[in-house]
Structures are given as structure tokens and as C-alpha cells.
Homo-oligomer: A and B are copies of this chain.
Amino acid sequence: MHDYRMECEMSVTDELLANAQRYQAEFTRGDLPLPPARGVAVLACMDARLNPYGLLGLAEGDAHVIRNAGGVVTADELRSLAISQRLLGTREIVLIHHTDCGMLTFTDDGLKDSIAKETGVRPPWATEAFTDLDEDVRQSVRRILADPFLPVKDSVRGFVYDVRTGGLREVAPA
């Protein structure tokens, strides 16, 4: 007999946990070291359509993957990259934005005004919205190159991923 109550109460998170149990059952890579084997840090947008593992052919143990709304570079990404390079030896940075990005659909003032109207408080952070995709990739690369705490800047390359074609186009350095 079906337990309809259980079925209705099962959240998406519960479904993902069931997947995690399957992952553990087949898991064989308990021997991987802490430092990334490929010596690369990937910084990409959080977008659901952009899968850095599939796209770049990454496997467990290969690379640090840092992600946020837009794939932008703020203080927290510079913190993560500094830890990646200084403590765990990564030497190349791959930065990925993508077409049809949500960050192109609003303005900083517009979103912050609407949040302030609803909550009574204006967010203390910049939304990092942008209007020119390629230019924001270049801007992000420039923020990395300008940072005084990253020791290795020989390979900092920026790309746009096309969510329609699955293709990757290099934008920076240009």
C-alpha cells in the first residue's frame, strides 16, 4: 500500500540525500589528497545549466571549484583563491561566465530598492549585476590581477559558456 503522506512530505533535499546514499555505495576514491591534482581553481557562475565537471572533464580530486551569482570576483572569491593558491598550491585560474545569465536581468539599484521596499532594509552588499557579459569577464580577470594577495597570476583566463550550444569562448586576456 502506498504511504501518500510520506510521498507528499518528501522534499527535494530528501531526494538528493537518497542520491547521496547511492553515491556512497559506489564510492571508491577515499584515498584522494587534499591539494587539487590538476593545480587549477575554477571560478564560475552558480547557474544551474553550467556544470563545470561535465564541461571541463573534472573528476573528484582535480580542481577547486568556486561559484557565486554571476561568477564575479568580490572579497570572498579573493579569500578563496588566496587559500587555494597559498595553502593548496593551485597555479591556474579558469573564470567562467555564461550567456542568458540572471545577472543581466536586473540593475543593482532596482533589486536593492525592491528588497528595501519589502523588508525595510537595503542590503549592504552590491548585487554585482552587469550589462555587458564579455566586459564583466574582463572586469573579473582584472580584479584578480589587481589583487595583492594572490601569488600566482601567470594563467588567469576568462571564458563565456554558451548555454544554448554548450560551447566555451575565451574572452580574457584579450
Q: Contact at A61–B48, with CB atoms within 8 Å?
A: yes
Q: Contact at B92–A11, with CB atoms within 8 Å?
A: yes
Q: Contact at A47–B29, with CB atoms within 8 Å?
A: no
Q: Contact at A166–B11, with CB atoms within 8 Å?
A: no
Q: Contact at A48–B37, with CB atoms within 8 Å?
A: yes
* Of B11, B20, B78, B163, the contact of A56 (CB 8 Å cutoff): B20
Contacts of A166 in B (CB 8 A): 23-24, 27, 29-30
Interface flags, A60-76, vs B, CB<8A=1, else 0: 11111111110000111
Within 8 A of B (CB), among A85-121: 86-88, 92, 94, 100, 102-103, 105-106, 111, 115, 118-119, 121
Interface size on A, as a range, is 35 or more
Contacts of A53 in B (CB 8 A): 51, 53-54
Q: Is A155 an interface residue (CB 8 A)?
A: yes
Contacts of A140 in B (CB 8 A): none
Interface flags, A30-45, vs B, CB<8A=1, else 0: 1010111111110000
Instruction: Point out residues on A near B: beta carbons under 8 Å.
Output: 11-13, 15-17, 19-20, 22-24, 27, 29-30, 32, 34-41, 46-51, 53-69, 74-80, 82-84, 86-88, 92, 94, 100, 102-103, 105-106, 111, 115, 118-119, 121, 123-128, 148-149, 151, 155, 157, 163-168, 170
